[in-house]
């Protein structure tokens, strides 16, 4: 068994105002913490990984297939692999949450 803590993982600024930190990587999934500052956005992208997430602070607006979805503190979401999506923090506070990817995703495409 391996353990880890957010305190031991330095976040990477993937794009302006978007910080990611790998918490755990296994054979079939990975867990990533995110922080997205007010006004920051994750540009549209897609990946073969299925993505399930949970926002525990703040709020995000996801754009998926031309539709907007608002996900706030306490809400979870899933995004199928291969589905183009984007996220924007339109609120006044930092959005924080956790994403799980299957298969594991050690780095987003823009960090390869």
Please list, in sequence order, all residues whose beta carbon lies within 8 angstroms of the beta carbon of residue 7, skipping any fewer than 6 positions away.
none
Query: For residues 55, 61, 63 and 66, what is the CA-based torsion angle, rounded to 10 degrees?
Result: 140
Q: How confident is the model at residue 11 (pLDDT cuts 50, 70, 90)?
A: confident
Kindly report whether the global pTM for this prediction surpasses the value 0.75.
Answer: yes
Q: How many Å separate Cα 13 from the centre of its chain?
A: 12
Please list, in sequence order, all residues whose beta carbon lies within 8 angstroms of the beta carbon of residue 19, skipping any fewer than 6 positions away.
11, 12, 13, 34, 35, 36
Angstrom CA distances, 10 to 5, 66, 85, stand at 10, 34, 25
pLDDT tens by residue, 27-65: 999 999 999 999 999 999 999 999 999 999 999 999 998
pLDDT over 70 (residue 109): no
């Amino acid at each position: 068994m391996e353990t880890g803590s957010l305190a031991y993982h330095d976040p990477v600024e993937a794009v302006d105002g978007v910080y990611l930190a790998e918490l755990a990587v296994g054979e079939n999934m990975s867990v990533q913490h995110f922080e997205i500052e007010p006004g920051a956005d994750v540009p549209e992208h897609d990946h073969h990984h299925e993505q399930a997430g949970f926002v525990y602070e703040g709020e995000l607006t996801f754009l998926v297939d031309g539709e907007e979805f608002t996900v706030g503190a306490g809400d979870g979401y899933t995004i199928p692999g291969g589905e183009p999506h984007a996220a924007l923090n339109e609120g006044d506070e930092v959005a924080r949450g956790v994403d799980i990817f299957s298969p594991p995703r050690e780095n987003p495409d823009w960090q390869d």
